[in-house]
Amino acid sequence: MSRIGKMPIVIPAGVEFSVDDANIVTIKGKKGELKQQVDPDIKLELKDGELNVTRPTDQKRHKSMHGLYRSLVANMVTGVSEGFIKELELEGVGYRCNNTGQLLELLLGYSHPIYFYVPDDVKLETKMEKGQRPYIRLESCDKQLIGQVAAKIRAFRKPEPYKGKGVRFKGEVLRKKAGKTAAK
């Protein structure tokens, strides 16, 4: 049996769980509401505040979906109860960030500013303080969406391996390369 799939999901107080006839799981909490289509073969059972995910057989397809859907539903429960946060830093001379509502403006050393519209489900906050690196904070209940948005922002200027300039996740450790040495 799948180690991840057989672990029960604890449903915290204030979180509502429901499954409709089309096998769409709906989870509501204080941070929002999320929906996920689940394969018809995978069964979800709620007992005593714990959600168990079961599979019908030991076929390879069922085994692979067992752990997948358990993880997806567990992330949904965590998202609507606690939420997810991604923090990015800008490293480089003249690198700046600013937001107007959900529109993020980035100055990353190109000849033009980069404008990126962040989806409404993601809460955006930017901070620029003297002596500190420019900082972008993303908050959402959907783990997949926030990860995709953060990766897209990082892709505008990935950290380069020599000086480390670029957009990086907060706390990310980069392996720096040695530059060219003198000829003599």
pTM confidence score: 0.87
Torsion sign over Cα 166, 178, 132, 147:
positive
Same-domain check for residues 73 and 148: no
3 assigned to some structural domain: no
The pLDDT value given to residue 47: 87
The pLDDT value given to residue 183: 55
CA distance 32 to 24: 16
Same-domain check for residues 39 and 94: no
The pLDDT value given to residue 20: 87
Among candidate residues 22, 47, 81, the one where a domain is terminated: 81
Average pLDDT, rounded, for the chain: 89
CA distance 110 to 106: 10
The pLDDT value given to residue 22: 83
Q: Give how far Cα 62 sits from Cα of 25, 35, 69, 70, Å.
A: 18, 21, 10, 12
- pLDDT per position as a tens digit, 102-156: 999 999 989 999 999 999 999 999 998 888 899 999 999 999 999 999 999 999 9
Domain of residue 89 covers 84-169
